[in-house]
Amino acid sequence: GDLLGLDNLVANTTYLKAQQIDRNELRKRRLSLTLPKLKKTSALQAAEGEMYESLCEQQPIGSKLFQQFLLTSNDQYAAAAEFLDELSKWSFAEDEKREKAKQTILAKFCQSQSTGFLSYFTEEDAETCKDLSDSNFDEVILDQLREATREFLKGRPFSEYLKSQFFYRFLQWKEYERQKITDKYFYEFRTLGKGGFGEVCAVQVKHTGQMYACKKLDKRRLKKKGGERMALVEKQILEKVNSLFIVNLAYAYNSRHHLCLVMDLMTGGDLRFHIYDLGKRGIRMECVVYYTAQITSGLLHLHNMGIVYRDMKPENVLLDGKGQCRLSDLGLAVELSKGTIICQKAGTTGYMAPEVLKQEYYRYSVDWWSLGCSIYEMVAARLPFRDFREKVQNDEVTRRTLEDECKFEHKSFDAPTKDIISRFLKKRVARRFGCDDPRSHEFFNSINFHRLEAGLLEAPWVPKPNVVYAKDADEFKDNSDIKDVTFDTKDEKFFREFSTGAVSMQWQKEMIDSGVFDELNNPGHTEGIIS
């Protein structure tokens, strides 16, 4: 009724306002924040078995502190750090800016008389440097110099770093990262959607102001329906992936009634909503190509990790505030390496590949089939084997999928689009596209994947900041069927296994992006903490 309408309005307003939180308010919230002092044992634990790559390159805070160490130690270390930085700038530069980036590198680092000359280069490296004329200044040579630089850094600089104040600081951050997460860590906002085991709502980390989506799985419902294994698999896969094109997990914790997965907040709505619910049917071609490119990169990322997604469809592709998309809902995903039986029928009707429907053994091919169906749907606002809102039995969709040829009647299909869809919709796995790399298909001619995969290609369409791209919540939630569920020690053990707290990569990014890293790292602020 009207009251519900008012509730929804208030919920939307506070949700939108939270996303625009100002710096002063945040600063007040974290006045009391300090880095923890170190206990000897925890410091040892954090460093144990960790390698240069993880400590100095992959972990965002680790990489920052190692940089700071290099830049403040001596000229040689600083030059090495700057060289790597310039190399990456060159590598990701837009075409028209590459030439300038290249000249900078040549002048600064590659001439033995220049101040930044990299003195750790072997004679061979130095020769290569001298030979660097415009024509052979390419990825291969630079890779060689990049590797030489990394080899150098892994040696003495790294071992000195491990004994420095900077590394001590890193260990403090690791200690902080290990804090126990409860629902007091967040403010909670409106519901964004409903899932099989509970709702997904927007949350905000109190100290950083970072917004996330929190998928709350009802413990009693999980137990009643035997969903615990699936929830754990989803969580374990999510925490392993770290991609711009997949919703990443930032925290896993449990509250009194829920297991909670805290993920990237996607404020732009899902692609199904954009195909059918925004007045005009379908998505314009420029966006279709852009989304498909990001989805393709996301799928390749999963496949490279041995993961089959199995639920590729527009509804599971979510847009963020900048109009970039990510794959979500990894509840059906499965890791091949774990020897899982994989002829199990899983997926959504209309998107399932022939080999799934026939319950044959399958691998990554099924995701490319579903991507073919999804591209078709983005363009034509219907599925290849099922018309929009067509009342048709699943059996008939299955029959058509196995027997019929895909037709392209909609006027928006151009030749490259038809071609790429047809290649994805080959009924025989061996002939299907994708099992090799689809990124070079002419459908993607306008996409620079190198820049796309670094997050540098802007979206052709950006969601409006003052619109909530989610359906309003409806009132009544029936909980009567799960009232009688109780938990034993085995359940409690499972809840603890699930609740691993902050996920390093995401948490460290959050600390940096929100400015907390800089605030707590500035010497004035941290005086008395570092011993």
Residue 309's closest CA among 345, 291, 334?
334
Q: How far apart are CA 381 and CA 384, in angstroms?
A: 10
Compose the 236-255 pattern: x for residues touching ligand ADP by CB under 6 A, - for all others: -----------x--------
| Dihedrals phi, psi of 323, to nearest 5 degrees | 90, 10
Binding residue for ligand ADP, selected from 153, 252, 263, 425, defined by CB under 6 A: 263
What DSSP element (H or E) covers 186? strand 186-195
Q: According to CB under 6 A, which residues from 199 to 238 bind ligand ADP?
A: 200, 213, 215
DSSP 55: I
CB closer to ligand ADP out of 139 and 513:
513
Q: Which residues contact 378 (CB under 8 A, 6 or more apart)?
A: 271, 275, 282, 283, 287, 288, 291, 292, 314
Q: How far apart are CA 342 and CA 333, in angstroms?
A: 11
When CB distances are held under 5 to 8 angstroms depending on the partner's kind, the choice from ligand ADP, Mg ion, none that residue 511 binds is none
Three-class secondary structure of residue 39 per DSSP: coil
Residue 63's closest CA among 75, 55, 72, 73?
55
CB closer to Mg ion out of 329 and 355:
329
Taking CB under 6 A as the rule, does residue 79 contact ligand ADP? no
Q: How far apart are CA 238 and CA 259, in angstroms?
A: 14
Taking CB under 6 A as the rule, does residue 325 contact ligand ADP? no
Sole window of 117-125, 328-336, 435-443, 449-457 interacting with Mg ion (rule: CB under 5 A): 328-336
Binding residue for Mg ion, selected from 270, 329, 377, 510, defined by CB under 5 A: 329
Binding residue for ligand ADP, selected from 249, 265, 356, 452, defined by CB under 6 A: 265
Q: Which residue is nearest to ligand ADP (CB)?
A: 195
Q: According to CB under 6 A, which residues from 366 to 425 bind ligand ADP?
A: none
Strands annotated E in 196-347: 198-205, 211-218, 249-254, 258-264, 307-308, 317-319, 325-327, 334-335
Is 224 one of the annotated binding-site residues? no
CB closer to ligand ADP out of 193 and 314:
193
Taking CB under 5 A as the rule, does residue 198 contact Mg ion? no
Q: How far apart are CA 377 and CA 365, in angstroms?
A: 19
Strands annotated E in 379-452: none
Rounded to a whole number of angstroms, the minimum distance from the CB of residue 195 to ligand ADP is 2
CB closer to ligand ADP out of 105 and 265:
265
Residues forming the active site: 311
Sole window of 92-100, 195-203, 374-382, 501-509 interacting with ligand ADP (rule: CB under 6 A): 195-203
Binding residue for Mg ion, selected from 209, 269, 282, 331, defined by CB under 5 A: 331
Residue 88's closest CA among 130, 35, 45, 149?
149
Taking CB under 6 A as the rule, does residue 314 contact ligand ADP? no
Q: How far apart are CA 199 and CA 400, in angstroms?
A: 35
When CB distances are held under 5 to 8 angstroms depending on the partner's kind, the choice from Mg ion, ligand ADP, none that residue 263 binds is ligand ADP
Q: How far apart are CA 139 and CA 144, in angstroms?
A: 9
Taking CB under 6 A as the rule, does residue 505 contact ligand ADP? no
Q: According to CB under 5 A, which residues from 244 to 303 bind Mg ion?
A: none
Annotated binding-site ranges: 215
Residues that bind ligand ADP (CB under 6 A): 192-197, 200, 213, 215, 247, 263-266, 270, 318, 328-329, 331
Residues that bind Mg ion (CB under 5 A): 329, 331
Annotated binding-site ranges for ATP: 215
